[in-house]
Each structure stands twice: as C-alpha cells, then as structure tokens.
C-alpha cells in the first residue's frame, strides 16, 4: 500500500507530465491535470494519515533503484552541462563538472561497497511537507489551467506552449515529493537538481530577454547550491560512512563533542539550503523569478523550491544542535529577515513585495532552525505550513489582478474592491492571514519569539532583528490592505466580473483552507506538528523542551486558548461588520479637502484656477531614500556574505 501511495506522489506526476508533453492535447490536459492533482492530494493525505514509515525500495520495475538513481544523477548533470554550454556559461559548466567529479568519487571510491540504504524513511515533517506540496501545489496547478489560457491569449502565440508548461510543473511537484520522502541523500540530490532544472525552465518559459536572464541567474545560483550539496555528501560519507539521513542524524546526535570536521558537511548543507531558499545574498534569483507566469511564482514561493531548503535544514538541524555554527545560522536567518523586510518597504510592485516577504519568512524559519530547540522546531514547522498556504493564495490573487487591470503595482490597486470584489476580498483576507492574530502565521511568529526568548545563545541580537523586522512587516502589509478597499463611495455595490472557473475555484479553496486551518491551528499543532517534532526528538534521544505559548491564559494546558481568541475576535469583527453594513446612504460625505472637495466621476479633487478640476493624487511612502534596493541591497549582500564566510570558513 505504501509503495502505491509513494508511487502516486512521486512517479505518477512524472509519468503524466511526460504524457502531456508527448500528446499535446488540450482536452486531455484539462481532464488529466485535475485528476492527477486529486490523486496526488489523496495519496499525500493517505501517507500523512499513516505516520512515519520505512520503505526499503530496492527495485523499481525490476531495476535496482540505487543504480537507477546514480545513472539519473549523471544524466541530469550531463544535461545541465550541455545547458551551460548552450548558455555559454563557464560558471555553470565548471560547477557542474565539479559536481560530476565529486559524484564519481563518491560513488566509485568512497561509497563503492557500502550496504544498501533504506530508500524512503519520511518523518513527521516530511509527511507534512508532502501534504503541503500536493495540496497547495495541486491547487496552484489547477489555477494555472485558467491562468495560462488568458496568459497565452495576451501573448498571441501560434502554438500553445501549455503542454510543456504543465509537464514541467507536474515534474516539479513529483520531484519535491521525492525530495522530502527520500532517506538516501544521493537520491535526494537527484530530486534537488530536478527542482533546479524545472525552475530554470519555468522561469524562462515566456522566452523574453529578461526571462532568459533571470532564469540563468536562478540556474547558476542553484548549481552553486548543488555543488555545496555534493561537497556535503562527500564529507558526510568520509566522516560518518553513510548517506542515510536517519543514520547520519543518529550518529551526529550521539556525539558528545562535535568537532569541526564533523560539522563541516552541515555548513555546506546550510549553504545549499540558503541558495535554494534564496536567502541573502542569493535573494536576487527569487526576485527575478517573478518574470515567469504567476503559477510559477506561486509554486516557487509557497509549496515548492524555497521550502526544499528549509526542509533540508529543519530535518538536519538536530545534527548540529548546541554548536556555535547553529547560533551563526540563527543570526544569519534573523539578519535576512530584517534586511528583506526593509527592502519590501521600498517596493510598490506587488510581486516584489511578496517575494521579499517570502525571503523574510524563510529567514525567520532558518532563525528557528538555528535556535535548534524542540519549541523552535515546532514554530518553524508552523510557519512553513501557514506561509505556504497564505503566500500561494496571495500570489494567485496578484496574478488574477494583473490579468484584469494590467498592472501589478499596488498603487494601481486603489479601489480594486469595486473592480474585482471577490478577488480583492480574498487578497485582503490573505494579507490579514499573513499579519494579524489569530491566524496561523502570526501564531507561528509568536511561538518563534517565545522560543528565541527561552533559548540561551545570542538571543538578544536575534530578538532585536526579529522585533525590528516584524515592525517593518506591518508597514508594508497594512497599507496594501487599505489600498484594496479604498473608495470615495459609502458602500460599493460591485458586480462580479468574469473569472475562469478553475481560477476562482483555486482562489476560494485556498482562501477557505487558510481560514479553516487557522481556526484548526490548535489541532494542527497538537495532532501533527507537535507529535512530529516530539517524535524526532524521541527517536534521537534528545531532550525536548516543548511548551505551549499562551497556555497560561486559559489555564488549560491545551491549545484551546486559540479558540477563545478566534471566537472573541470573530464576534467583534462580525458585530463591526453588521454596524458597517447598516450605515445609511445619507451619511455619505466627501473626504475632507479644506472645504473645497468636489467629486467628478469617481475621482475626488477640487476646482483649481480657471475652474479646472484637479484630482487629488495620493501615494504611499516607499522611502526609497532609506530602504531603496540600490541603497541597501549592496550592504545587505556584503554583510550576509560575511556571515557565510564565517559559517563555512570558520569550520575549514
């Protein structure tokens, strides 16, 4: 049974993707994609319900699986090498060649005669990831069906490139599922490189000059990450004599003193994860990735790709617990958090705001990883789950808005509620789920702050960064929410516009998931995230100091306080809403304009000289003179590079 479920999550998307690419039929795609997504989601939930398991997986279709993966590793690297040749990039070619040499040495010399490793051994975290990837990623794929139709109408393509697009997306999802389920690191490496390649293809999908440039940047940065991954594997094989993640973790946590030689591979893994998760100074590839069609950005930012890096770190974290290296990782994450939050303040481009906020939240997750206690692990997992849902939702909203109003600038979204009522409402809900209690993201952030405050190492500077960063977060989210509902009319009576059914379905479902899962967050914490972390700590015989934030509030050692919070706030919001709806139309007045306010059409302004109507123009403060990209990106990059040098160089 497990075999079948794993097959559905990992291999099936590849098979369907290949079929879509070969058949190139529209009707087949519109039926096959939703069916595949549904099967994947069900299989993922099935896997999750079963709990952690072991699967040897020696053979696949009669072939030895380990040999197959080795072969695929080399084929893939060779393909990237050719790609580097076509792109005329010595950098990519050089780094890929180094990876091939490293892998050859690893497979041929170091690990030549080792016993076979258990193929799949997911823990609780992996299963949570599989569910996120399959459900959130699946919904984004369905959204893509409607989105890409309109997208290609705008582009006036002669032949549709959608078969290629959906084939790659499905492979991407399959690779992500494989990545989180694998136990053998060299298999994981294969999936790791597949996600790199898929993201390269997807970012360059529109084939414009800018798309190609940004895709190339994503490629070389992630190939650098791949090189770090190979180096890590080499060192792990050398010092610990195995590539099984389970055994690596057991051996590392059993050590009393972790010598620098033991820690070095984990520093390389951190480097690999930082490239994949687009931490500073590698943030530019993720910001550049927004040239791709929206479903791609939504996928890269929420369920897949960037979460692969945080997954790897979270899984490996116990191996380097209680070391200086761990503290440096936490500081690095906190610095990324505050740096990118500042950068987000200066942006008016909605996708860029979302991109920087993604990087910031990943930084927060990495801070929790670096704190490396059971409590911080719970916080990190919590943020991963809720960030995926809310960020996927927000990206899809921005995509729809852009297709309608032709701009992704938040200044152009003034009064959007009147134009696209449902999408604007969903966007505002998405923003509030990122920002305010009692929604899941904020509970994650709350747990993170408590976890950091209770940890012992270098807590003060980390807290300072987090506190400062979260204030900037409020800055850039609050004004966007205000803009969406901005209007000079008392009540808007919007007519609902046309929206593709698949797009609307995906938006509504994910919005529902975001709200429902926030409400269920006590259950999610108690039944999934808590036990998953506790399970890992129990298996590794680590001291787990769990705690329940705010438990003292209700006096109950449960998470029931969240319900209380939810009920009080929901009741308040509902009452406020009732009063709001009842404000009579005669209460309407024009905004204050020193007594000169005049309304013309839908615009407010005043009569200037010669009786000419002067509309009032308002704009947000973006403070480019303080937080502009050209002002601080360089400083952020330099400081973060210094962190990386300390992290890796300190151990060499």
Partner 1 sequence: MLSSIFGALGGLILAPLAGGFLSGVDRRLTARLQSRVGPPLLQPFYDVFKLFGKESKVTNAWLVFSAYVYLMSSAFSLFIFFMGGDLLLLFFVLTIGAVFQVVGAICVPSPYSQVGAQRELLLMVAYEPILILVFVGFAMCTGSFMIADVFKLDSPLLLKMPLLFLALGYALTIKLRKSPFDFSASHHGHQELVRGVQTEYSGPYLALIEIGHWLDLVLILGLCALFWHTSVIGMLILVMASLFTEILIDNITARLTWQWMVQKQSLLLGMGLALVNLLWLYVA
Q: Which residues bind partner 1 (CB under 8 A)?
A: 414, 435-437, 442, 446, 449-450, 453-454, 459-461, 463-464, 466-468, 470-472, 474-475, 477-479, 481-483, 485-491, 549-550, 552-553, 555, 565, 568-569, 572-573, 575-577, 579-581, 583, 587-593, 604, 616, 618, 620-621, 623, 626
- CA–CA dist 55, 53 (Å, integer): 7
Token pair 């994503």 in the structure block, residue: 218
- Taking the least distance from each CB to partner 1, the nearer of 107 and 445 is 445
> CB-wise, 112 or 555, nearer to partner 1?
555
Minimum Å distance from CB 578 to partner 1? 9
* SS3 category, 598: strand
Shortest reach from residue 370's CB to partner 1, in Å: 18
Cα distance between residue 223 and residue 90, in whole Å? 12
C-alpha separations of 316 from 126, 196, 244, 391, 571 in Å: 12, 21, 12, 25, 42
Q: With respect to partner 1, which residue has the nearer C-beta, 34 or 628?
A: 628
Cβ-based neighbour number of residue 10 at 10 Å: 24
State the minimum distance, in angstroms, from the CB of residue 561 to partner 1.
8
Query: What are the start-end ranges of the H helices in 406-500?
Result: 416-419, 421-435, 440-454, 459-484
* Contacts (Cβ under 8 Å, ≥6 apart) of 176: 129, 133, 137, 191, 195, 303, 304, 305, 307, 308
Tell me how far, at minimum, the Cβ of 496 lies from partner 1, in Å.
Answer: 19
187/417 with CB nearer partner 1? 417
Q: Would you list the DSSP string of 268-299? A: HHHHHHHHHTT-TTSHHHHHHGGGS-HHHHHH
Cα distances (angstroms) measured from residue 355 to each of 347, 429, 525: 10, 18, 27
> Least separation, in Å, of the C-beta of 419 and partner 1?
15
Separation CA 412–CA 499 (nearest Å): 20
Closer CB to partner 1, 250 or 486, in the complex: 486
Of 154 and 581, which CB lies nearer to partner 1 in the complex structure?
Answer: 581
Kindly tell me which of 326 and 470 has the beta carbon lying closer to partner 1. 470
Q: How far is the CB of 384 from partner 1 (least distance, A)?
A: 20
Q: If DSSP states are collapsed to H, E and C, what string results for 291-339?
A: HCCHHHHHHHHCCCCHHHHHHHHHHHHHHHCCCHHHHHHHHHHHHHHHH
Residues ≥6 apart with Cβ < 8 Å to 152:
160, 161, 162
Question: Nearest distance from residue 82's CB to partner 1, in Å?
Answer: 49
Q: In the bound complex, what is the minimum distance in angstroms from residue 363's beta carbon to partner 1?
A: 16
Least distance in Å: CB of 604 to partner 1? 5
CB of 499 to partner 1, least distance (A): 23
Q: Which is nearer to partner 1, 174 or 444 (CB)?
A: 444
Question: Residues 48, 127: contact at Cβ < 8 Å?
Answer: yes
- Spatial neighbors of 258 by CB under 8 A, at least 6 apart, are 252, 320, 323
- Which tokens in the block code for residue 322? 């209680």
Q: Which is nearer to partner 1, 104 or 575 (CB)?
A: 575
Cβ closer to partner 1: 31 or 489? 489
CB-wise, 405 or 478, nearer to partner 1? 478
CB of 440 to partner 1, least distance (A): 13
Alpha carbon distance 24, 518 (integer Å): 40
Beta-bridge mates of residue 597: 606
């Amino acid at each position: 049974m497990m075999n079948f479920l794993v097959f559905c999550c990992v291999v099936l998307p590849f098979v369907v993707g290949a079929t879509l690419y070969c058949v190139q039929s529209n009707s087949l795609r519109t039926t096959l994609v939703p069916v595949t997504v549904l099967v994947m989601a069900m299989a993922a939930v099935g896997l999750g319900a079963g709990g952690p398991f072991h699967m040897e997986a020696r053979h696949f279709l009669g072939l030895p699986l380990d040999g197959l993966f080795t072969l695929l590793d080399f084929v893939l690297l060779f393909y990237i090498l050719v790609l580097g040749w076509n792109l005329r990039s010595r950098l990519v070619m050089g780094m890929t060649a180094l990876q091939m040499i490293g892998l050859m040495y690893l497979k041929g010399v170091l690990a030549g005669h080792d016993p076979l490793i258990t193929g799949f051994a997911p823990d609780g975290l992996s299963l949570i990831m599989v569910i996120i990837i399959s459900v959130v990623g699946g919904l984004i794929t369905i959204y893509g069906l409607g989105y890409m139709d309109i997208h290609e109408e705008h582009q006036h393509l002669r032949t549709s490139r959608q078969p290629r697009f959906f084939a790659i997306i499905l492979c991407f999802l399959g690779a992500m599922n494989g990545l989180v389920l694998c136990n053998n690191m060299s298999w994981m490496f294969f999936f790791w490189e597949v996600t790199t390649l898929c993201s390269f293809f997807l970012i360059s999908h529109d084939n414009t000059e800018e798309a190609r440039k940004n895709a190339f940047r994503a490629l070389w940065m992630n190939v650098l990450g791949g090189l770090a991954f190979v180096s890590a594997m080499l060192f792990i094989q050398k010092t610990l004599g195995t590539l099984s993640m389970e055994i690596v973790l057991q051996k590392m946590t059993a050590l009393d003193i972790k010598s620098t030689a033991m820690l070095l591979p984990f520093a390389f893994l951190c480097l690999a994860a930082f490239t994949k998760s687009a931490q500073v100074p590698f943030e530019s590839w993720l910001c550049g990735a927004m040239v791709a069609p929206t479903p791609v950005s939504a996928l890269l930012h929420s369920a897949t790709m960037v979460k692969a890096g945080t997954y790897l770190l979270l899984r490996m974290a116990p191996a380097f617990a209680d070391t200086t290296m761990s503290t440096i990782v936490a500081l690095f994450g906190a610095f990324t958090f505050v740096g990118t939050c500042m950068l987000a303040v200066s942006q008016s481009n909605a996708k860029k705001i979302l991109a920087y906020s993604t990087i910031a939240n990943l930084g927060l997750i990495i801070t929790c990883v670096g704190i490396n206690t059971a409590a911080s692990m719970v916080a990190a997992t919590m943020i991963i789950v809720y960030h995926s849902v809310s960020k996927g939702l927000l990206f899809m909203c921005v995509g729809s808005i852009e297709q309608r109003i032709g701009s992704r600038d938040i200044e152009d979204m003034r009064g959007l509620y009147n134009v696209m009522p449902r999408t604007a409402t969903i966007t505002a809900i998405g923003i509030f789920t990122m920002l305010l209690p009692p929604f899941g993201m904020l509970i994650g952030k709350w747990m993170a702050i408590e976890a950091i405050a209770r940890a012992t190492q270098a807590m003060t500077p980390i807290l300072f960064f987090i506190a400062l960063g979260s204030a900037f977060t409020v800055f850039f989210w609050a004004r966007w929410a205000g803009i969406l509902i901005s209007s000079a009319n008392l009540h808007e009576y919007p007519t609902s516009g046309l929206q593709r059914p698949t797009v609307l379905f995906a938006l509504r479902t994910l919005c529902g998931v975001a709200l429902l899962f926030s409400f269920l967050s006590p259950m999610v914490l108690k039944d999934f995230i808590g036990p998953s972390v506790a399970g890992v700590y129990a298996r590794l015989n680590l001291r787990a100091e769990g705690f329940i934030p705010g438990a003292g509030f209700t006096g109950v050692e449960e998470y029931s306080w969240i319900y209380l919070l939810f009920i009080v706030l929901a009741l308040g919001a509902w009452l406020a809403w009732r009063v709001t709806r009842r404000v009579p139309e005669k209460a309407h007045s024009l905004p204050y304009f020193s007594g000169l306010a005049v309304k013309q059409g839908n615009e407010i302004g005043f009569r200037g000289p010669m009786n000419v109507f002067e509309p009032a123009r308002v704009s947000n403060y973006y403070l480019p003179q303080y937080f502009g990209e050209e002002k601080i990106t360089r400083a952020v990059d330099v400081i973060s590079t210094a962190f990386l040098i300390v992290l890796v160089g300190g151990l060499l």
